[in-house]
Each structure stands twice: as C-alpha cells, then as structure tokens.
Amino acid sequence: MEMFKLIPACKDYLWGGNRLATEYGIKYDGDILAEAWLLSCHKDGCSVIEGGEYNGKTLPELIELIGSDFLGANCKGLQDFPILIKFIDAKKPLSIQVHPDDEYALEHENQLGKTEMWYVLDAKEGAFLYQGFSHEIGREEFKERIEDNTLEEVLNKVYVKKGDVLFIPPRTLHAIGEGILIAEIQQNSNVTYRIYDYGRVGADGKPRQLHIKESLDVTELTRPEAFSSGAEHLVSCNFFDVDHVDVSDGNTYESVADERSFVSIIAIEGNSVITCRGKSIELKKGESLFVPAASGDFEISGNAQFLITRIPDKIK
C-alpha cells in the first residue's frame, strides 16, 4: 500500500489569523485561516488525497474504495475514524469551552466526546491559556460566575512557550489564548460547549451561541492533575500515542508501520524525505502524510521536526 500526502480542510473562524498560510504553506484563499484539519474523516471537514491514483478523493472515500484494513487492527470494530489532527492559529483568544466525555456526547450529540492534546508550535511572549480551575468550586458558584462574567477570576492560567505539551481530558474547561499556534491531536469529534465568548458576534451579527446547560452538566470543577510529557514520546492515552521526532545533522529516523495501526506524520519544521517500500515522498513544514498499517519499515531523512501519531492497542 502506498503512502498518501493529504490536503487539509480549512476553517475561517473569527478568532483566527493567517500564519498557517504564510508560515506553514497551507493553501487557502481567504483572509482568515483559523484551523487546518490535517488528518480528518469528520463530516465537518475531510482531508483530501494529493497525487497518485486517488488524487482528489477524500480520506473517507479512500476508505470506502479500498476497505478499512489499511487503518490497522487497532481500528477494527470502531464506528468512526478514531482521531482528528489539526493546526490552530489563535490570533485572538478562543472561547472558554468544554468537551463532553463519550457517554454524554453519545447520548446527547450522537457522536463521541473529545480527549485532546496540544503541542505548542509557537507562542508570543506572555501568552497563556486556561486549563481547569485554580481551585475547586461548587456548581452554584460556577453558574453565578458565568452569569456575572467573573469566571476568569477562578480559572487556572497556564503560561506557555514553543514546545510545551498539554493534555486535555474531556470535561476539562479550557481556552487557547491570544498569540498561540497549536497542533492538536484529538478524538474524532467536533462537539464543543461554549461557556463564555467575550461578547463576540458571528458573521450574522448575532452573539455566538453559548451552551450553559450542557457546560454545567459536564464540567469538572477542579484544578487539573499535573501532566508531564517526555521529550520524544509526548502522550499515551486510550485514543492516541504521539511522538515528537527531530531529524537533523545527517541523522535519520527509522520506524515501522505494522499491522496494528496506520501512522500519521505531520511536519512542524523543515523539509524531509519519507521512504517506504522503495518509494519516497518529500514532506515540508505544514504537510501531512498518511502511512497505511502493515506498510512496513519507513525512514525519514532531512532537516525537520515531526509529530508522529499511532492508534494504541488499548483504544476502546
């Protein structure tokens, strides 16, 4: 099975900038490019195959055409494609929000909840995000602070820099702050409950919808547990395993796409060549490559950095 370079789905949310186009080479005609969905089978925006026999097909169309075996044994029995990987350019702060867990999301939204991780690609000096609460509060205080616009006073503020890694379990209140560029690896879900949105209005001139009842239902009202990431192996959870790889100074990275899982390779810096089964594909900053399960050994050479994601054995 050949490797597939992917064209991302693009989103022009009002808080976005244009760095994904100007610095990461993602092709987009609009003025705002808030998100690029680099690996996606979600109905709200699918990745598209670039080049080769299946040029122009979406990733779901490819799965339909050639079958799901190339996703790997760890994806057997799953109703949906397991993950979504995106770049996020927060020129302005995102809404304060929360994602439900699977149980709540399946009951109320007919799709999965969202566990996610963030890798900070870049951050301006003094940039911060919110992750949970500075201390445990009660449901009534949570509700009152939403109503009187004092919620930010009790949130856990986290200052970030390039290379930082955060893990965001479902039910964790969070918000990406201004001036942060992030790579996000998440469950394949687009369920977001907005709690507070700074009074902003959408393209229709009306305030963007808030989801207060749902947020009260699902938000964990505590300070999140501390998370520690390794320098190379960043995150392991039930839904994804993520590594950071740095190839430079004549070094190469050698690994394998075995029968258990496909491999997603996202270039976050530099230029490289990925070789598998005698075929080579050039990959530069901002590009995404899908290596099917059971493709065997592959090698990365060049001068670049990557996020490499697999589906773990323990996926539910």
Provide the annotated active-site residues.
Answer: 194
Cβ neighbors of 239 (< 8 A, separation 6 or more) are: 82, 83, 115, 187, 311, 312, 315, 316
Please give the C-alpha separations between residue 280 and each of 125, 267, 274, 290, in angstroms, as whole numbers: 39, 15, 5, 13
Q: Is the CB of residue 153 less than 8 Å from the CB of residue 75? A: no
Closest C-alpha to 263, from 18, 72, 62, 37: 72
CA pair distance 225, 239, nearest whole angstrom: 19
Residue 281 token pair: 């594909």
Nearest-10 Cα torsion for 15, 10, 165, 230 = -170
| Structure-token match 């594909």, residue found | 281
Q: Is the CB of residue 282 less than 8 Å from the CB of residue 273? A: yes
Consecutive H or E run containing 212: helix 212-218
Cβ neighbors of 88 (< 8 A, separation 6 or more) are: 34, 35, 94, 176, 180, 181, 182, 183, 184
Residue 125 token pair: 């000096």
End-to-end CA distance of the chain: 26
CA pair distance 54, 58, nearest whole angstrom: 9
